[in-house]
Amino acid sequence: MSVPVEGVVKGDRADPSGRDRVRINDVAPRDGLQIEPVFVPTADKIALVDALSHAGYAKIEVTSFTSPKAIPALADAEAVMNGIERVAGVEYVVLVPNLRGMERAALCAPDEMNLVMSVSETHNRANLRMGREASFAQLADIVRALRGTAIRANVSLSTSFGCPMEGEVPEGEVFAWVSRFAGLGVAGISLCDTTGMASPAQVARMTARFLREHPGIMLTLHFHNTRGMGLANIVAAVQAGARRFDASLGGLGGCPYAPGATGNVCSEEVVHMLELMDFDTGVDLDLALAASARLPGLLGHDVPSQLLKAGPVTRLHPVPEGVVNVG
């Protein structure tokens, strides 16, 4: 996108290397669709992933190899993975809950498997039906099985910034889990603000600590906009050095513990803001918005994206007649 505001562009747009690269992992096909009451037809899921690929997202979380009984919305995981176009430079991620899921997923040759557990014991039991130690053991088996293969392991630590049931999650506990997974040799770790409890000062502090203590592990931040702080937390994280974010097209997703609340940060809004801040996301905003505009038809409801309604700052409006309000 072009940037109309004087002075915001510090790098040379013609030379992407002049700007810092930020990698967005669009999780809408998995994290967004999994809680939708409608089953999105496989062909539409494939079209969504392909649209994200062609828009230039660095990474896409395509689907989940969870039991189809647990998440019927994603029961077509194999068909989706085998149907999508693999665009060069884009990384395709799948969520995997256990060894059985890993074996199913491996046949589809993802670039990365994303493993999930919660830092909060209560949330882990509510969400995964087992304690954290049992989850760790299960995920550790997957990480070991992936060693030496072409498939990277990433661990997403849910409730890293607070638990909707326990409240505060001590930072020391988050980093204790980070260290245990680091010890297993995972390629990446995502600190996930599962229910939108993170706030900017906290995000800045935890991001800086992670980068200082684990410079060899790819850090991803995963924020929800539940309390309006989603993009504010992205600003805090990127200032502290984070360069990888989860986000969801249209702002799809959400959380069963915050009814009526919006979900993941909206990926087109993250792209729009970061490009205005002179970061290079690699995403063509017009293509992302076009893909987002197809979501309401697919899902039968409006999506949280503000940008879809208002358009990017570059989209000018005609001078209206009869306007009298001020301010």
Considering only residues 16 through 55, tell me which ones interact with a second copy, judged by CB under 8 A.
27, 30-31, 34-35
> Exactly one of 108, 163, 192, 255 is catalytic; which is it?
255
For residue 36, what are its two tokens?
A: 């939708």
CA proximity to 52, closest of 315, 310, 279, 281:
281
- One residue of 136, 269, 281, 292 binding a second copy per CB under 8 A: 269
In sequence order, what are the residues at sequence separation of 6 or more whose Cβ sits closer than 8 angstroms to the Cβ of residue 57?
24, 25, 26, 90, 267, 282, 283, 288
End-to-end CA distance of the chain: 29
Taking CB under 8 A as the criterion, the residue among 99, 205, 300, 301 binding a second copy is: 205
| Contact string (CB under 8 A) for a second copy, positions 152-191, x = contact | ----x-x--xx-xxxxx-xxx-------------------
Q: Which residues of 195-224 are buried (b: 16+ CB within 10 A; e: fewer)?
A: bbbbbbebbbebbbebeeebeebbbbbbbb
Residue with Cβ nearer a second copy (93 or 151):
93
| Angstrom distance (rounded) from CA 114 to CA 26 | 13
Taking CB under 8 A as the criterion, the residue among 1, 80, 234, 288 binding a second copy is: 234
Nearest-angstrom CA–CA distance, 111 and 108? 10
Q: Which of 152, 227, 243, 294 binds a second copy (CB under 8 A)?
A: 227
Q: Which of these segments, 104-112, 142-150, 292-300, 312-320, binds a second copy (CB under 8 A)?
A: 312-320
Looking at the Cβ atoms of 53 and 264, the one nearer to a second copy is: 264
Asked if residue 257 binds a second copy (CB under 8 A), the reply is yes
Q: What is the DSSP string of 233-298?
A: HHHHHHHTT--EEEEBGGG----TTSTT---BPBHHHHHHHHHHTTEE----HHHHHHHHHTHHHH
Cβ nearer to a second copy, comparing 141 with 168: 168
Closest to 236 measured CA to CA, from 263, 198, 193, 210: 198
Take residue 70 and report the two structure tokens written for it. Answer: 């647990």
Distances (CA, A) of 316 to 113, 324, 326: 42, 20, 19
Considering only 14, 88, 150, 326, the residue that binds a second copy (CB under 8 A) is 326
If binding is defined by CB under 8 A, does position 208 make contact with a second copy? no
Using CB under 8 A, which of 50, 78, 278, 284 touches a second copy?
A: 278
Smallest distance from a second copy to CB 232, Å: 4
Residue 79 binds a second copy (CB under 8 A): no
Given the DSSP bridges, would you call strands 152-158 and 112-118 parallel, antiparallel or unpaired? parallel
Q: How many chain residues are in contact with a second copy, going by CB under 8 A?
A: 89
- Shortest gap between Cβ of 94 and a second copy (angstroms)? 12
Q: Is 255 a catalytic residue?
A: yes
Stretch that binds a second copy, among 3-11, 15-23, 40-48, 284-292 (CB under 8 A): 3-11
Q: Pick out residues in 99-158 that bind a second copy (CB under 8 A).
A: 116, 122, 125-129, 156, 158
Q: Which stretch binds a second copy (CB under 8 A): 39-47, 103-111, 232-240, 283-291?
A: 232-240
Instruction: Return the ∠ at Cα 68 (arms to 303 and 152), rounded to 5°.
Output: 80
Q: Which letter does DSSP use for residue 167 in this model?
A: B
| Residues with catalytic function | 255
